Each structure stands twice: as structure tokens, then as C-alpha cells.
Amino acid sequence: AQKITQTQPGMFVQEKEAVTLDCTYDTSDQSYGLFWYKQPSSGEMIFLIYQGSYDEQNATEGRYSLNFQKARKSANLVISASQLGDSAMYFCAMRYTGGFKTIFGAGTRLFVKA
Amino acid sequence: DTAVSQTPKYLVTQMGNDKSIKCEQNLGHDTMYWYKQDSKKFLKIMFSYNNKELIINETVPNRFSPKSPDKAHLNLHINSLELGDSAVYFCASRGTYEQYFGPGTRLTVT
């Protein structure tokens, strides 16, 4: 069965510094996708970044990058140059390629300090 | 144009009532979802439809009944509301990889 683990319930980071949000997953499938979503206090869910299990390069989207280590089954999100607007809940998620069900982790609440 | 819209945004009702939440997407996607987010922010899938066909039906009380009149719409009807149904309900549609979420409906049962 699929499982996503986010071990950091809350994290603090100083503005302009980089921060890494941890995500580990458990799956027996070889082909899957990994996702990160952001949920600010306003409540909407915002897609940030996607990594396919067969992608050789780590995914990057602007200040977001996904540190994918397949052997360790980890998919950490790195946010560079943190901004106050990055304060939010961040969810890691996974779905089998071709599947319909996405499993979400419990989330990490990030606080960016001025 | 809003990609995924939900109505209403807020819903306050009493125990025992029946209520519906509507969802519409204008992205042309085939697959839509309902999720429930509890007070601890845990996001749990409830239902998924693909081309109007129910493909995921998680362990959800049968008081919850989804309905997809067409690919662009997925509604959620809840009968005999209970206190434990209080949560934020998200509709989503799925593109090639990522999901696009609606703004959520905060349901409060008193």
C-alpha cells in the first residue's frame, strides 16, 4: 500500500534563507509520480511541483526544487530564498502512474520569520 | 475564469439536515474528485469520477452520495448531517499530472 510520511509538523525559517521540507514514501510500484502542494491560510490548494519516478533530473519550478532520492524513497521539497508569503501548509503526495488515487501526507506547516 | 469552482463557499446547517455542494471545472478534464479535510488538515479522498463513471469510492458513509451529470460537474449530496461531517470539502479535477483544486466548502454542522 502507498504511504506518505511528513515528519515535520512545523518548521521555522528566516526570510531569504533556504528550507527543506521532508517527505518519504512507501510503495511497491516502480512507476509513480510525486507532488507537492501548498495551502496558505486562505485555504486554497496550490500545485507546486511534480516529479516522475523515472525522471533522471530533479524537478525545479522557480524557487522550488524537489530533491528526489529514489533508493531512499524520499522526495524533499527545497524552497530557496524564503519569502513571507511562503508561510503555509505544505503537502507531499503520490500517485501510481495511470492510477486515479492520490495519497497525501499529513503536511508540514512552514513559518517564515522576518 | 475560475478553473474549478465550488458552491457554496460556506455552509452552516443543523444536524439531521440534507445539503449539497456543487462543483464545476472548465478545464476539459475527464477525472474529478471529492476530498475531505478535517480540522487537523488531513486530506482524505472520498470519491473520484472518470468520464461520469464512479471509479473511487473510499470508506465513506452512504449518507454521502456523489453525482456527475456530465464531465464538467461533480456534485456531493449529504443526507442526515452529523457533527462529525464538519470539515472543508474540496473538489478537484485532474490534468496530465497535477490536480486542480476548487476553493473548498467549509461545512459546519451545529
* B66-90 pLDDT per residue, tens: 999 999 999 999 999 999 999 999 9
Given a cut of 90, whether residue B32 has pLDDT beyond it is yes
How far is Cα A15 from Cα A79, in angstroms, rounded to an integer?
A: 11
pLDDT > 80? residue B7: yes
* Terminal-to-terminal C-alpha distance of chain B: 34
Of all residues in chain B, the percent with pLDDT exceeding 90 is 89
* pLDDT tens sequence across A4-32: 999 999 999 999 999 999 999 999 889 99
Residue found under cell 534563507: A17
Which residue type occupies A8? Q
Numbered residues of chain B with Cβ closer than 8 Å to any chain A Cβ: 31, 33, 40-45, 48, 50, 55-56, 88, 90, 92, 94, 97-101, 103-104, 106
Task: Using CA coordinates, name the residue in chain A closest to B30.
Answer: A100
The average confidence (pLDDT) of chain B is 95
Give the best residue of B35, B41, B42, B44 to mutate against chain A (max A CB count within 10 A).
B41
The pLDDT averaged over each successive group of 10 residues in chain A (114 residues) is: 92 97 94 97 96 94 97 97 98 92 96 97
Rounded to the nearest angstrom, the gap between the alpha carbon of residue A91 and the centroid of all alpha carbons in its chain is 6
Mean of pLDDT values over B56-75: 93
- Chain A residue with Cα closest to B43: A104
